[in-house]
Amino acid sequence: MNSSQPYTTKLGVGLGLIDETRILLELWQPGMKPRDLYNYALDSGSLPNISARRLNNVVKELFAARYLVKGDYPANVLKDMLPVLSYAGLCQLLFIFTCRVNAVLADYVIEEYWPRYAGGHTNIDNNDAREFILRAIEQGKTTHSWSPKTIQNVAGYVTGCCADFGLLEPGQRRVRRIIPFRLEPRVAAFLAYDLHFSGWNDNALIMHRDWLLFGMDDIEVRELLKSLALKGFVIIQSAADITRISWKYKDWEELIHAISQG
């Protein structure tokens, strides 16, 4: 996730769209291009409540944009993980990958949601999200100035996504209740190995910005890794600010098998 990415309006294509994404992941096969997936999904009738035009937009602008990147890496891993994930776990994985390509959501969660949670707030208002967007525009985080309507829409998109992914209460609301959001153990193992397999060294991995999506600082991440060690996922040695991790699984196949046994 790169916070230098310009903010866009792309979240509006479908917000979280959890159930539909699960169906598309089940239909998708490695190597399948967006157009092929669209045709296959349309012919299968697996999404009968979505029009053909809407389905094309979802496949191209949401599914492909979020999960068919980096050589289809997200889709490949998500598809393999589906059988071992709870609904909450799936939401959290989709949340991670969505944040990685939508800086506006990632920054909102890190800079607004968690500080409000830590400050004892029980609700988040769309107007607060609107103020966040206005500040971002002033800071040059969009490629051009947005109209008042676009600002209001994107404010609704970020809070709506937070609701879909489990950080805020669902439904069509201007003011939403904050829901306790805790990293699922299987998702924690996934994220640790995801960063490891991506080439981050142990200490850089602990400081990675993705953990902030779950409100976790480096001290909390070290404690999390210790809990993963107790479950047999890693072997950890930590002294002062130096942490060394021995990674027990060499690829996704081994890790997902271990997760399924846990």
Tens digit of each residue's pLDDT (9 = 90 or more) over 165-218: 999 999 878 899 999 999 999 999 999 999 999 999 999 999 999 999 999 999
Are 3 and 209 in contact by the 8 Å Cβ rule? The answer is: yes
Domain coordinates of the chain in residue numbers? Answer: 185-261
d(CA 119, CA 123): 11
Q: How much is the pTM? A: 0.95
| Residue 39 pLDDT grade (very low, low, confident, very high; cuts 50, 70, 90) | very high
* Residue in this structure with the two tokens 């966040």, named with its chain if needed: 132
Are 138 and 151 in contact by the 8 Å Cβ rule? The answer is: no
Tens digit of each residue's pLDDT (9 = 90 or more) over 76-134: 999 999 999 999 999 999 999 999 999 999 999 999 999 999 999 999 999 999 999 99
